Structure 1
């Protein structure tokens, strides 16, 4: 762990400790922090074998800090969310929307780094797959919210959902996450377009069909069965 990593971890631990003291709704705080209990150790463990860039860890830390602040007040009652509400002329606390937007904006880049280094994707797919994964994670989280909310104390469930009476809350949350991811990946693409001479050729190569390419599906299945019989 570098000094910079230790600084990020220390900052997160400090804010998390503050958020854990006297949260507005203790039961909701616990529900929100299951995400912390799972992903922070996971990030620390995987860093021993697969270290991300400092930029990726910084973006992840900022998002996690926003999350633990929301867990302290509940997303529907964060003071800064009321300020955003006034600025936007909205009828609800907007901190929840800000965090969902930030999920796409801040985590699309780390996801892109993982795809490029592990799956070896290039060109168009290095932008499309992270965007798709943000949408998938957003949808999965909304499903988890629903499953948890119907099984816990009603007051804790409502605080956890943070819908604030909006029947389209889940869809809007996913939409703003998608917008955030699109903005993040567009910025990355513009930087590469400006400074990477191979940007255009990588895009073209990622859409090129290799010579000798064959369909998969049943053709692959028959080939596997034939090879098995020959053995």
Structure 2
């Protein structure tokens, strides 16, 4: 039943996210930028946990939510432009920037599966072109909204250090377009490679929920 107690796998996922969140808050690059970067993930996880017994998602969706939250917690701890592993990649590959933000936005495309699940279960949409198109559109709209929020914060704060870290464009005037494009590409890849698996998991999950 949907209202049954939390499963061990889901508990493990939530505890993993909580552990990384605690680590990220220990001596981050700066607490103002840390709060800005981790806030969306914290809000999202809070909603997911609060609605767990009333509207339970598939384990695939929970796994995606936790992965994306961890990506944001790591980015909040170091700032997206200074994540050590991607600084190393930058030096080895002779890149002109730290690409952790690109990597993060590409993975944010996975959220299209969560959007897809909610649409299947809460609307009249069925599997097919329109489900994919609308899921993709919502994913891209969320990515665009995040870029608008970054820009607005930068404008309101008059370009201070926290605003520059939050914007994280590393001197690239097309950074917002690149970020949205990465999410768009990530969403398409997720739909192409995960939709069939998601369908199977949904059928199994809904049968158990009856």
Per-residue deviation, 1:83: 3.3
8 Å Cα contact 1:108/1:181 also seen in 2: yes
1:38 to 39, 43, 52: 43
C-alpha offsets along residues 125-184 of structure 1, whole Å, 9 cap, x if unaligned?
Answer: 221111111110000000011111223370000000110010000000000100000001
In the alignment, structure 1 residue 66 sits paired with structure 2 residue 71: yes
**Aligned ranges 1:50-199 → 2 under 5 Å:** 50-86=55-91, 89-104=94-109, 106-122=110-126, 123-152=128-157, 154-189=160-195
8 Å Cα contact 2:60/2:198 also seen in 1: no
Structure 2 stretches of 5 or more lacking a match? 1-5, 201-210
Per-residue deviation, 1:121: 1.2
TM-score (norm 2): 0.85
Tell me how far apart the structure 2 counterparts of residues 17 and 41 of structure 1 sit (CA, whole Å): 15
Q: Secondary structure at the match of 1:52?
A: coil
Q: Secondary structure at the match of 1:47?
A: coil
Tell me how far apart the structure 1 counterparts of residues 140 and 90 of structure 2 sit (CA, whole Å): 25
Structure 1 residues 172, 5: CA separation in 2 closer, same or farther (over 3 Å shift)? same
8 Å Cα contact 1:84/1:95 also seen in 2: no
Higher relative contact order (CA 8 A, sep 6+): 2
Structure 1 stretches of 5 or more lacking a match? 196-231
Cα RMSD for the two superposed structures: 1.9
In the alignment, structure 1 residue 24 sits paired with structure 2 residue 32: no
8 Å Cα contact 1:97/1:176 also seen in 2: yes
Per-residue deviation, 1:112: 0.8
C-alpha offsets along residues 40-83 of structure 1, whole Å, 9 cap, x if unaligned?
Answer: 11111222211100111011101110110000000000012223
Tell me how far apart the structure 1 counterparts of residues 96 and 80 of structure 2 sit (CA, whole Å): 15
| Larger Rg belongs to | 1
- Number of matched pairs: 193
Tell me how far apart the structure 2 counterparts of residues 158 and 72 of structure 1 sit (CA, whole Å): 15
